[in-house]
Amino acid sequence: MIRYALICGDCEHAFEAWFASSEAYDTQARRRLVACPECDGRSVSKQIMAPAVRTSERKVAEPDAEAFAKEFAKRAREHVAENFDYVGEDFAEEARAMYYGETDDRPIWGETTPEEREALKAEGVPALPLPAPFAPKKPKRRPGGAVN
């Protein structure tokens, strides 16, 4: 998938759209199938983002989907590391305590066994698996449960 910033030649509305590939965009644009969500105009073209890198053929370098995914995962990891408390194997216990109002809500992350995950799900405790690329490095835990 590739995301393009597009601009309508009729009303100058700027918008974004996903395409299966750059070829898919080219084909759809050539057949005038890419429509402006504001005025349904078909004079849609790629918006040039600054700073754009132009090659000698005056083509704008396309965003690298893999680099984008990597950057996205990196930011997700940083967000979790900065904003979520790592509770390790106490995750199920902590999530349950918050759900039942025994402790204040706070963003946490940690590990569960598959059994714990099923139990949380059955109890309706909101917990989502964190995809591996989005999980930060586990912080070291000091004895006594406090997190560095």
**Contacting positions for Zn ion (CB under 5 A):** 8, 10-11, 13, 36, 38-39, 41
Pick between residue 10 and residue 118 the one whose CB is nearest to Zn ion. 10
Pick between residue 37 and residue 139 the one whose CB is nearest to Zn ion. 37
Pick between residue 40 and residue 85 the one whose CB is nearest to Zn ion. 40
In whole angstroms, how close is the CB of 26 to Zn ion at the nearest point?
Answer: 20
Pick between residue 7 and residue 97 the one whose CB is nearest to Zn ion. 7
In whole angstroms, how close is the CB of 14 to Zn ion at the nearest point?
Answer: 10
User: Encoding tokens for residue 6?
Assistant: 């597009």
In whole angstroms, how close is the CB of 8 to Zn ion at the nearest point?
Answer: 3
In whole angstroms, how close is the CB of 45 to Zn ion at the nearest point?
Answer: 11
Q: Which DSSP string do the residues of the chain spell out, in sequence order? A: -EEEEEEETTT--EEEEEES-HHHHHHHHHTT----TTT--S-EEEPPPSSPPB-TT-PBPPP-HHHHHHHHHHHHHHHHHHHSEEEETTHHHHHHHHHTTSS----EEE---HHHHHHHHHHT----PPPGGGPPPPPPB-TTS-B-
